[in-house]
């Protein structure tokens, strides 16, 4: 399974209910084999970074289709580097 980093633009204003509804919609819309793992907020840059696991980028695009509250700016295929690899 491949890992992806999705870059979203944050809305200027959003209610807690809107954010919860958007998150639930993403989870429900995720095709089998794709999973939203976690997200990080970059408040100074007005961006949201989301880590996904999916067989291909297209599965993430399906899950995020119609996601107007957090528009997608880019999707990147990524590979993790584990600091444990460098410990002696």
pTM of the model: 0.86
Whole-number pLDDT of residue 16: 87
User: Which DSSP letter does residue 88 get?
Assistant: -
Mean per-residue pLDDT, 12-22? 87
Mean per-residue pLDDT, 37-58? 94
More confident residue, 11 or 3: 3
Sign of CA dihedral 36, 5, 73, 40: positive
Whole-number pLDDT of residue 69: 86
Nearest to 60 by CA among 45, 78, 44, 42: 78
Mean per-residue pLDDT, 4-20? 90
Residue 72's pLDDT band, with cuts at 50, 70 and 90, is very high
Whole-number pLDDT of residue 3: 97
- Exposed/middle/buried for 6, CB within 10 Å: 0-12, 13-18, 19+? buried
What CATH architecture does domain 2-86 belong to?
2-Layer Sandwich (3.30)
Element (H, E) at 37: strand 35-42
Whole-number pLDDT of residue 29: 83
Domain spans in the chain, listed from the N-terminal domain onward: 2-86
């Amino acid at each position: 399974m491949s890992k992806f980093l999705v870059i979203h633009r944050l809305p200027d204003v959003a209610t807690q209910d809107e954010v919860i509804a958007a998150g639930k919609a993403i989870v429900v819309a995720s095709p089998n084999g794709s999973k939203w793992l976690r997200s990080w907020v970059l408040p100074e840059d007005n961006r949201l970074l989301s880590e996904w696991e999916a067989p291909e980028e297209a599965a993430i695009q399906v899950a995020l289709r119609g996601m107007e509250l957090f528009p997608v700016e880019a999707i990147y295929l990524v590979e993790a580097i584990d600091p444990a690899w460098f410990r002696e």
